[in-house]
Amino acid sequence: MNKAYYTECYTECPVADVLSIRSLYTFFRSKYPRDYTFKGESHDFHEILCVIGGELGVTADKNVYLLPAGKAIFHRGGEFHSLWSSYNTQPEIIVFSFAADALPDTKKNVFNLSQSQISEICAVYSAAEKTFVFEGFRMRIREGKEAEASALIKRLELFALSLFTQTEETPLNYTARSAENYARIISVLEESLSEDLSAAQIAERCNLSIPALNKTVARYAGCGVMNYYNSLRLKKAEELLLSGASVKEAALSVGFSNQNYFSSCFKKRKGVSPSRVRE
């Protein structure tokens, strides 16, 4: 049969890259003591945390979860997250953080882990120890292990896709009164980014005393309410600057009437002036 016949019989079926991991930032396995608390952070890259032992308390923006062994949580880039040992247990976790050129547009962030998935992420971590050099939270590929590193990335992509394609529900929101108060506080802060509220004004809007306000935010976010509020305002300002807003426009949009003071606060927290962000 001639070439034209085959051309007519066969058609290409394009398959889009739903998930494409470009690089790793961290990959570690840890077992925490019963009184462990991590005050929290946010970063531009993504993170998947798998609980393989004990129970872990996790804050993800305004949501608070208690995750027993056999659960995983996905933190999208820019999401604030903190964690702590729960119920006098010693939680054991495996975490990998990454940058991606393609990522599923999923609203779900808490997943069930089957025993085979737990076995797989443990095996991938064991392979990573032979493929990468870990220096604290930094990592680099061992000399001559480039092919193994590429294969390991593919396994992480398959593992992540096995989570993102889950359809069953995992209702795990922590329903303690303090967690409900925390969610309400963060909602108030997010709705007030264009203002310049004081702690007293925030407490009034949340129907809490100032001590209760600060205690709740410190418990789940690891910092005082004003620190958290200002970090949200400056994060929003950064987004505006990146979208083309002027420094003055960004400052006014997040409640700073003094542009110089805004620039000083921005540089102190972000490490770069707002004018540099626009470049």
pLDDT in tens, 77-105: 999 999 999 878 899 999 999 999 999 98
Helix axes 177-190, 225-242, angle to 10 degrees: 40
> How far apart are the C-alpha atoms of 119 and 155, rounded to whole Å?
13
Q: Are 163 and 48 in contact (CB under 8 A)?
A: yes
Q: What is the pLDDT of residue 167?
A: 84
Task: Provide CB contacts within 8 A for 27, sequence distance 6+.
Answer: 95, 96, 97, 125, 128, 132, 134, 139
Least confident of 8-12, 21-25, 251-255, 272-276: 8-12
How far from 143 is each of 116, 127, 147, 172, CA to CA, in Å? 31, 15, 11, 43
pTM: 0.85
Half-sphere exposure (Cβ direction) of 117: Cα atoms closer than 13 Å: 23
**pLDDT above 80 for 211:** yes
Rounded to whole angstroms, how far apart are CA atoms 233 and 120? 40
**pLDDT tens column, 166-189:** 987 766 666 678 888 999 999 999
Instruction: Average the pLDDT over 253-274 and give the result.
Output: 91
Per the prediction, the chain carries an average pLDDT of 91
Dihedral sign, CA of 200, 206, 207, 210? negative
Distance CA 124, CA 110 (A): 21
> Above 80 in pLDDT, residue 228?
yes
